[in-house]
Chains A and B, each alone.
Chain A
Amino acid sequence: MKRALGLLLTLAVACSADEFFEKKIRPVLVEQCYACHSAQSKTPMGGLRLDSMGALLKGGDTGPAVKPGDKNSLLLRAISYRDLNLKMPPGGKLSDERIADFTRWVEAGAPGPTQVAAPAAASSAGLDLERARSFWAFQPLPPPDPKRTIDSFLRAKLKENGLDLAPAADRGVWIRRVSFSLIGLPPSPREVNDFVNDQAPDAYRKVVERLLASPHYGERWTRHWLDLVRFSETNGHEFDNDKLDAWRYRDYVIRALNQDVPYDQFVREHIAGDLMPNPRLTPDGAALESPLGTSVYWFGEVLNSATDSVKSRADQVDNQLDVVSKAFLGLTVACARCHDHKFDPIPTLDYYSMAGYLHSTALRYAVIDSPARAREIAAAHAGIAAHNESIRKLLASSLPVRSDAAPTIREGDELFAEFDSYDGWDLTGEAFRPGPRREVPPNQPLKGYTGESIASSFGAGTDRLVGSVTSKKFIMPKLWVHVRLAGTKTGLALRERAPLRVTVVADDHPSQHFFPDGSPGFTWKSIRMTKEIGRTCYIEIVDRDRGGHIVVDKIVFSDSKEPPADPPIPENAPIRLEDINPTLVSDLQARRAAIEAQFPHSAWGMIAGDEDPHDVSVHIRGSHKNLGVPAPRRPLQILTKTVPKCEGSGRLGLAQWMTTDAAPLVARVMVNRIWRHHFGRGLVPTTDNFGKTGERPSHPELLDWLAARFVESGWSVKAMHRLMLNTEAYRQSSRVEATASQIDPQNHLLHHMPVHRLEGEAIRDALLNISGSLNRDMYGRGVRPHIGKYQDGRGKPASGPLDGDNRRSIYIQVRRNFLTPMFLAFDYPLPVSTIGARTSSTVPSQALMMMNNEFAAEMAKRWAGKVAAEEADPVQRVEMLYRAAYARLPEDWERREAIAFAEKRSWQDLAHVLINSAEFIYVP
């Protein structure tokens, strides 16, 4: 290849050859640089070619490589290894002699051959969006033909291939199939019996309706949804810190599915639920629902000590964009981070236009009380304030006069906050309202209080209040942070889970905490910002404790390890009201206690908030150190008819766009996901990729018809289930006919129902169910996972119970670094990106787990115990076991084998074998 290039240059050089260039410069370029920076490399790295003078002068993505005469030319900087981030050639520095040659050459004006071969097009400039719009996935939806049915679409294709749908499966098979499909639990023997004997024409429909009305439906389908949003309740990385309130998102999805919230609303809530003018409320009216959708942004991994804040944020945004675009749009937008998407019409500019929305959005742990609830809380707070005001009036003359002396701010100190106001801070909840306090309530003795204003969560005088104040982001400027604070003692070991704390959050990692220690007055707490200095941080003051409070006077950044000197503490101790008027006091206290006893609860969420709305620039080759043109915030061009308005972060406009301009794609992607879960394979098998590299739909008209019906139904997910489940296709047997398997071995045409294996979660739930253990409690903080001796590492949590309190698997905490082994063995997806279609592998750990794990054995024991307690006759017992596990009666030989085995060994051992059977974990 060297020869080919030599030839190219020889031609060029023939016109004007400079000896120095030929002897000293060109050979080095050819030898050291051309592999990556010439016509011979398919895509020249950094867009830079060095195989012609024109190319050298033109340069690459970062600008001209050589400016004749300029010692600071990029090429010279690169080969001198002066810059940290630009060192060329990458394999090692050139000799000093060669570097000197290059320097001389550039200084001399870079003489070289002027005539060069015309450079090929530098990069894929300009996508033809109009042409790209003709791709199937970007087409509008045709109006749905009301006369068609799913079966008619499928039959038409089957008929073309000389095939038909398989005959209906046994009723027992069908009800087991649909039960797992909709609620993730096996049908009870009674449900099977009722259905098998129900001769009414709508017997099938009634089962579907019963299951859709079950609260377990939401639990089952929430797990599918969580796979799409890389749901996790911890940050992973070194210490696996908690994501507080992540579980509330899980509950939000369960409720939304059970209530059949229109999917377009659900999508908009994910993008901008915090910004909606009329948010949905929880069923009790106490909390906002819509903002919880925005938890979706924050389930990703968080580095515990990012050395480069900007890169860390860019990576976070990349993951957010990846998840949002795959989950809703079925597009791999993240591929366009470093270059225009290689296959889909998504230029890099679009990537950064979309990224701008996310760069304008910050994580907020916020109180999400409904307006009504917030008013109730404010009223209760006002009641407390009124009582304390009465006391204050009585005491007016005896209250100590505060000196106004402030701590001494020294040279090298930077006063970050003294709470004259909350300007620049975000307030949530009631505790810190209405603003910083200068009056300490009479029921709060606060030693060392100087009369300066403070951030206090004690409000007008009660521990019941919760809330937080959060600073804007800033770059940590100093090595020490000193906080002068007071308040109720809290659990230090809880770290970010402590309900009262001042936390320095560095690159979204809750990095350092200042805790009140319960001492009667202010104390300074000092922490060295070893890892935080120079990084993007914010500070939050948190009170999530209904029985405690926190008070912060000053936050000082400093060069000094020692905190500033305290002001002189006022001599006159607060006067005890009890000494003045004991009767009145006890009366007022009783009335205050009555309010406190009824004090309404607040709800929290891990949500999004707008912060510092701004456009970002294209990161050339994905590098944040190499910025290109600005990318105005707007959605993907390929799907945009009207660019939405961009107020604040602009997410509200983006949300609208998702369900207007992008609606056909959003609908197609979602109906395909539902189809995949019912029929085992998507009409588009690549459920998360509807782009060019994804597969084409096997039944394009059917997909469009379903999507159109979906939109027509008001985006009702339950309507889609009805449509798909009340079909002959779904009633088919899973037995394959020989001819069909020859004509269509992969079953793309759906000539039989594919057998599918249950997920680990469904297997566990089924075990709990048949053994009579299932705890049907819904919602709430998750159960800690059971940690076996084979799980280890930093951030290891205390183990939860072996049986997970018998709760459904959806309520087992998803701790990123300590995922549940039983789920993992059965292909649980890592919470990394969108997974619409789990793999289904067969590995020894599955067999070992079902054979030898104490949980499986315990379930077998309970199941056998339950059956033994209910039935003495062995024949009946075997029938009970079979009906519970497989929704059918045993055949004669099975009954004989089972009884013989149970008599030789035990009923528990028989139960253990039955749950190990393939029939238990496979659904035909």
Chain B
Amino acid sequence: MFHRRAAPSRREMLCQAANGFGGLALLSLLREQAGAAAHHPARAKSVIFLFMDGGPSQMDTFDPKPRLKRDHGKPLPFQPPTTVFNISDKMLGSPFTFRRYGQSGAEVSELFPHVAECADDLCIIRSMVADHSEHTAANYFMHSGSGFQGRPSIGAWVTYGLGSGSKNLPGFIVLESGLIPPGGLDCFGSGFLPASFQGTLFRSGEHPIADIEPIDKQPGLQRDKLDLLARLNRGVLDRFGPVNEIEATIANYELAFRMQAEVPDLLDFSKESEATRKLYGLDEDLTSAFGRECLIARRLVERGVRFVELLTPAHKGLDRWDQHSGIENGHRVNAKSTDKPIAGLLKDLKSRGLLDSTLVVWGGEFGRTPCAQFPDGSYVKEVGRDHNPFGFTMWMAGGGVKGGTVWGATDEFGYFAIENKVHVHDLHATMLHLLGMDHTRLTFRYSGRDMRLTDVHGNVIGGVLA
């Protein structure tokens, strides 16, 4: 159980809330200040999760497999596990070339030339393992540690544990540019945690949050309304007596009002320099959408927002990173549209001294198979790869992570993680650890159990900690 410094205990408050009473509302409002309840000193204050929806291929990005090139077109020497499409059995060499970068000499493919420049900040985990072969379950799993709808997303857990850190913004914000992953907004839900911890989706465009744009266009009208409302609500308090929820509701209107002001300010890039805009690729068509997300992410972290998740932009004709066919072109476009913005974000955070306190995590819900999917004998240019949760790559940077590291390994085909396996539960445990929380003690009582993000699993990966 999570322990707060002040009485009543958090469990008591949440139990009351779960029964429709008590101070949850106050709780969510009063716990805006950071780090209210860490278990141990935190290395990171915020997380930026670059979620690569669809599942990028490890052997085409950060985990070179010469054997596949050598044996391209030959059948795998073993019976592969059942995959979604179940029609891939011939090896597919990566069409991309790899080079070593930085002092660490980490190998990165030609897809990520800009990110590669930050190689010495990256901790590349080549031995990720997940439990599901299919997008929706895998997305739920990567976000909530369960393959089913209804568990709290990691961002909700983190905000539940640490509070928002911002007076004017929610603690868990998801940025998108036209693509919501399979499984929908429940990937960012609060599950059985109170709704105040759910991810708030920021859409692209001028008004990123639902109902953030004041409906009252006449000058001063909304302020007049809120002033009258405040007077009426004080009357309600007199009438009902001191009721926590009503006090919280009154404060809630003021928070909403502040959010209305804060959000336009957040999106106002006019004070960002030309160099910064270029750094994020805002000046190029292909990179501007994700560049915008990355720049907003930095600005959110500056404002204390706890957990920011970025979703990959939509490209016509491409199904996210999910290239069952046409992987060469598909991965090129996906990588190109994110490479410069991500590198820009890492460099910008570093130059502002924010990288040390910001944990950046990159990866998809699973990786891809070493085999080509040759549906009905299509052309080599058209081949793709199927889903593979048995071994794939993610990387972390900043926030207490050991940069310039490659952790774990897959077999020579890139199919199975075989060395220093990192299960998704382990990743979650490690992320919480870096934020100052013990994943076994961050719990919420539901359905007769103290529920955890990591269920009954998870180990902190010592080898990736700085």
Contacts and interface: CB of A to CB of B under 8 A. Distances in A.
A919 B211 contact: no
A852 B135 contact: no
Contacts of B259: 844, 848
B272 to A, nearest CB: 26
B182 A794 contact: yes
Given A848-B209, A848-B210, A917 B232 contact: yes
B277 interface: no
Interface string B185-210: 11001010011100011010000011
Nearest to B258: A844
B448 A854 contact: no
Tell me which of B170, B215, B250, B423 has the highest count of chain A C-beta atoms within 10 A of its own C-beta.
Answer: B215
A340 to B, nearest CB: 15
A533 B248 CA distance: 55
Interface in B212-232: 212-216, 221-222, 224-225, 228-229, 231-232
A689 B149 contact: no
B215 A794 contact: no
B25 interface: yes
A637 interface: no
B136 interface: yes
Tell me which of A301, A531, A837, A840 has the highest count of chain B C-beta atoms within 10 A of its own C-beta.
Answer: A840
Contact of B183 (A237, A754, A854, A924): A237
A848 to B, nearest CB: 4
B240 A755 contact: yes
Nearest to B83: A307
Contacts of A756: 20-21
A303 B137 contact: yes
A238 B21 contact: no
Given A92-B127, A841-B17, A841-B195, A238 B82 contact: no
A897 interface: yes
A351 to B, nearest CB: 15
A343 B448 contact: yes
Contacts of A534: 82, 86
A598 B254 CA distance: 62
A354 to B, nearest CB: 17
A755 to B, nearest CB: 5
Contacts of B84: 305, 307, 531
A837 B137 contact: no
A245 to B, nearest CB: 22
A897 B232 contact: yes
A736 B214 CA distance: 37
A840 B136 contact: no
B119 to A, nearest CB: 24
Contact of B215 (A530, A533, A747, A851): A851
Nearest to B419: A92
A93 B421 CA distance: 10
Contacts of A913: 225, 228-229, 232
Contacts of A804: none
Given A307-B133, A689-B448, A91 B180 contact: no
Contacts of B210: 788, 790, 821, 845, 848-849, 853
B149 A816 contact: yes
Contacts of A575: none
Interface string A214-253: 0000000000000000000000111010000000000000
B149 A832 contact: yes
A646 to B, nearest CB: 29
B150 interface: yes
Contact of A238 (B19, B136, B421): B136
A651 B310 CA distance: 48
Contacts, number: 269
Interface in A284-334: 301, 303-308, 315, 319, 326, 332
A840 B182 contact: no
Interface stretch (A447-455, A678-686, A718-726): A678-686
Contacts of B246: 755, 918, 922
A332 B450 CA distance: 13
A914 B21 CA distance: 24
Contacts of A791: 185
Interface in A92-109: 92-93
B104 interface: no
B448 A839 contact: no
Contacts of A901: 224, 228
A237 B15 CA distance: 30
A837 B20 contact: yes
Nearest to A893: B235
A909 interface: yes
B240 A840 contact: no
In which size bucket is the chain B interface?
35 or more
Interface stretch (A496-504, A761-769, A822-830, A862-870): A822-830
Contact of B194 (A303, A335, A754, A841): A841
Contacts of B22: 746
Contact of A332 (B18, B127, B241, B448): B448
Contacts of B269: none
A279 to B, nearest CB: 33
Given A305-B84, A530-B87, A851-B215, A838 B20 contact: yes
A500 B161 CA distance: 52
A842 interface: yes
Contacts of A561: 376
Contacts of A916: 225, 229, 253
Interface in B423-451: 423, 447-449
Tell me which of A757, A789, A791, A844 has the highest count of chain B C-beta atoms within 10 A of its own C-beta.
Answer: A844
Contacts of A81: 416, 418
Contact of B448 (A694, A904, A918): A694
A843 interface: yes
Nearest to A791: B185
Contacts of B252: 842-844, 846-847
B42 to A, nearest CB: 25
Interface string B115-144: 000000000000100000111110000000
B249 interface: yes
A5 interface: no
A830 B255 contact: no
Nearest to A91: B421
B329 to A, nearest CB: 22
Given A755-B245, A791-B185, A332 B137 contact: no
B266 interface: no
Interface in B266-300: none
Contacts of B236: 917-919, 922
Interface string A166-199: 0000000000000000000000000000000000
Given A238-B136, A842-B28, A848-B212, A833 B447 contact: yes
B148 interface: yes
User: 5 closest pairs, A vs B, by CB?
Assistant: A842-B25, A832-B150, A847-B256, A693-B448, A848-B211
7 contacts: A301-B149, A561-B376, A746-B21, A790-B210, A839-B195, A909-B216, A917-B233
Interface of B: 15-22, 24-25, 28-29, 81-87, 127, 133-137, 148-150, 170, 176, 178, 180-186, 189, 191, 194-196, 200-201, 203, 209-216, 221-222, 224-225, 228-229, 231-233, 235-236, 239-243, 245-246, 248-250, 252-253, 255-257, 259-260, 376, 408, 416-421, 423, 447-449
Interface of A: 81, 84, 90-93, 236-238, 240, 301, 303-308, 315, 319, 326, 332, 335, 343, 530-531, 533-534, 561, 680-682, 685-686, 688-689, 691, 693-694, 734-736, 746-747, 754-757, 788-794, 816-818, 821, 824-827, 830, 832-833, 837-849, 851-854, 857, 891, 893-894, 897, 901, 904-905, 909, 912-914, 916-919, 921-922, 924
Given A335-B449, A905-B221, A909-B225, 19 more contacts: A91-B420, A92-B417, A681-B20, A685-B15, A693-B448, A789-B203, A816-B149, A825-B195, A826-B195, A839-B18, A839-B194, A841-B24, A851-B211, A852-B213, A912-B225, A916-B253, A917-B229, A922-B243, A924-B240
